Amino acid sequence: MSDSPYIIDVTKENFEAVILQGSMQTPILIDFWADWCEPCKMLMPVLAKLAEEYQGAFVLAKIDTDAEQEIAQQLGIRSLPTVKLIINGAAVDEFSGALPESEVRAFLDKHISAGPAAPDPSQDPVEVAKMLQEQGQSEAAMQMLREAQSADPENGDIAIALGQACVAQGNYDDARQCLSILSEEDGKKPGAGMLRGMLSLTDADDSTRDEAAVISELEADEGNSDARFQLGIKQALRGDFETGVKTLMDLMQRDREYGDDGARKTLVSVFDAMGDDPRVGPMRRQMFNLLH
């Protein structure tokens, strides 16, 4: 796996996140290759060089067609190397063969401008990391925050931002470590509360069952409180707070005793995770009405 934040090895497991979801924010250049393909080996360093030069204007996704034959078949790959450019979930252009750098650059420039300006090192690293995340450069944001924390380990804002970035990538142990080093004052900040809320939800989540599985369980038995509870958590964890809150409030009405008032307690964690979202006030009032 590449150490560059702009180059990602793609498998069936991360295809949707990197290609389909990622291309909604940043163009994805997919390089279909195989170890036995000599032209692939000629093209690889050219693509890697341009990925670094464009500094996040596109992400290079490498797919080993021998290891990921199902993906290659689904996308109709018949020769190697084949390169496809994906923007907003759709293939907008492609080429085959080991093109020289000038031709690859011209191919990119038809669709992609040169990379964004490099962040000003004098800027607040938390703000710069937020900007990078908004551009779809989550790995670059993570790297910047880790470097900033190493340089300023007592900075609570950096620790909170790093913890939130870790949660977004599913690295919950590191996120908890970020929380543990906060001072009492920093621990009272809204961002710290949001981080605690998300980690509480991950603690309650049954990661052995995905959302589709618990939906199936609920369809088979509408009175399955555990499935309804897990569904609400999973909806909130993927960012659909409003639906997650509705699911958990529904559980409160149906089975208040489940999990020792687990639905209400989990709703509090959801509200914490939402931070200063204006929807939280009305949701809290709705929960209060259900309680009384």
Angle (CA) 138 141 143, round 5° = 110
> Do 57 and 29 contact (CB within 8 A), yes or no?
no
Contacts of 59 (CB under 8 A, 6+ apart): 6, 7, 8, 18, 22, 26, 27, 28, 29, 51, 136
What would the two tokens of residue 46 be?
């050219």
For helices 138-151 and 125-134, the axis angle rounded to 10 degrees is: 170
Residue type, 190: P
Cis peptide before 81 (omega within 30 of 0): yes
The residue annotated as part of the active site, out of 18, 37, 99, 274, is 37
Active site residue 166: no
> Do 198 and 273 contact (CB within 8 A), yes or no?
yes
Three-class secondary structure of residue 55 per DSSP: coil
Three-class secondary structure of residue 64 per DSSP: strand
Residue type, 136: G
Active site residue 178: no
The residue annotated as part of the active site, out of 8, 10, 19, 40, is 40
Catalytic residues: 37, 40
